[in-house]
Amino acid sequence: MNQVSLREMVREVRQRTLDLTSDLSDEQMLGPLLSIVNPPLWEIGHAAWFQEKWSLREARGAAPLRSNADSLYDSAAIAHDSRWSLPLPSRGETLRYLEEVRDRVLGALEAGSPTQEQAYFDLLSVFHEDMHTEAFTYTRQTHGYPPPKFTGSGPSSPPSDAGPLPGDVDAGGEVFLLGATIAEPFIFDNEKWAHPVEVEPFRIARAAVTQSEFAAFVDDGAYNRSDLWAEDGWRWRMEEAVEQPVYWKRGEDGAWMRRVFDRWVPLEPHLPVLHVNWFEARAYCRWAGRRLPTEAEWELAASSDPRTGRKRRFPWGDAGPGPEHANLDWRSTGAIDVGALPAGDSPCGCRQMIGNVWEWTSSAFVPYPGFEIDPYKEYSAPWFYDHKVLRGGCWTTRAHLIRNTWRNFYKPNRRDVWAGFRTCGI
């Protein structure tokens, strides 16, 4: 990674943060206290603080820019619910902090090529902010704010009438190297290192479960059938009084509608089902006589190329994502039909394993053998064992962040993230 590319990434990610928050009112920049999202005013300050901590203070020995920044923005030390009552700087002061941190990092990069360690921390701060820009997007959805607007050319129109993609493909029956190798230019600690796992033959859906398929599950009364839910999932469903996906309602004609940011639209049948949690995905699988893939099965189906015996970095090959491969980077302003983008198919014939919608797997988020914690200690280790693994990215995920080995992780009750799933045969 050269200093020019790093400078472009630093500028671009900060502009994306501003694009996702600048139109919000001061009241919306705090928003109501919810356990699933952060107040945007705190979160943008946290993104700047993280960059200052790692790119300037840790990598370059700089002094803190704000004497109280650690007490305001250290997410590992500040309880979530207290973030609304902190003595946060004003919006103007917070924006100036974002600008000053960005400009100091850019100045350091313009002064000379970064060392390997400095480049690592520069990338870490960019990728960390990339994850928060995705969070800003689902925060807007959670609160019912308008969809974001972007500077420059903006998103493109989604492909139309791509339709569904039914059926399964065969995969597995091999010893597979699960995880990342040292060949990756940047790797998070939970991806380390590639290790052999034996994957028995299995059948996996060509595409993610669609909204029409999930609507059939809802219409069959499945949310009220305890036989379809394991004990933990049924307990969650009863405690939350859940009857359908979180942003669905019946229209005046009785047909399903879903909320897209601040407006209600008729349910699009061939889009992947969105905002369902792990419990809901597992109940659907039991209803359909299916199951969730393990993360090893998912990664194998996305990357194993039997013709060459190699593992691909992306489903379509080793070159990075283009618009013909994957729905990423807010490119289509939302999810698209599961049958779209055939150029992105994996070797076994699975579509959209990168982009469009995060996909739950059956696997618990656990460390790989020989796990060694990275300098950012709070990234993975605190979340092992009680979170579930998701794979593949979604329509708001950055193209330079995602790859086949990338592991996302959330608790099984989370419905706010852009998550869906695909299934396997039993």
Whole-number percent of the chain with pLDDT over 90: 95
Mean pLDDT of the 267-291 span: 98
Whole-angstrom distance, CA of residue 128 vs CA of residue 132: 7
Mean pLDDT of the 164-188 span: 96
Residue-range domain boundaries for the chain: 3-143, 163-426
**Sign of the dihedral through C-alpha 342, 419, 397, 305:** negative
Q: Quote the strand ranges of 247-387, DSSP E.
A: 248-250, 256-260, 263-266, 290-291, 304-305, 310-311, 358-364
Phi, psi of 317 (to 5 degrees): 155, -155
Mean pLDDT of the 334-348 span: 97
Q: CA angle 183-187-188, nearest 5°?
A: 160
Q: What is the pLDDT of residues 130-144, one digit of tens each?
A: 999 999 999 999 999
Q: Which pLDDT belongs to residue 157?
A: 60
Whole-angstrom distance, CA of residue 162 vs CA of residue 391: 23
- Residue 154 pLDDT > 60, yes or no? no
Q: Which pLDDT belongs to residue 161?
A: 64
Check if the beta carbon of residue 211 is closer than 8 Å to that of residue 273. yes
Please report where in the chains the tokens 């299995």 appear, as a residue: 202
Mean pLDDT of the 69-89 span: 97
Q: What is the pLDDT of residues 101-122, one digit of tens each?
A: 999 999 999 999 999 999 999 9
Ramachandran class of 276: left when φ > 0, alpha when ψ lies in -120 to 50, beta otherwise: beta
Tell me the two tokens of residue 420. Answer: 């869906």
According to CATH, the superfamily of the domain at 163-426 is paralog of FGE (formylglycine-generating enzyme) (3.90.1580.10)
Q: Which pLDDT belongs to residue 424?
A: 98
CATH topology for the 3-143 domain: Four Helix Bundle (Hemerythrin (Met), subunit A) (1.20.120)
> 383 vs 333, which has greater pLDDT?
383
Average pLDDT, the chain: 96
Mean pLDDT of the 377-406 span: 98
- DSSP 3-state assignment of 391? strand
Whole-angstrom distance, CA of residue 178 vs CA of residue 97: 41
- Residue 153 pLDDT > 60, yes or no? no
Q: Which pLDDT belongs to residue 150?
A: 84
Whole-angstrom distance, CA of residue 383 vs CA of residue 366: 8
Please report where in the chains the tokens 């990075």 appear, as a residue: 320
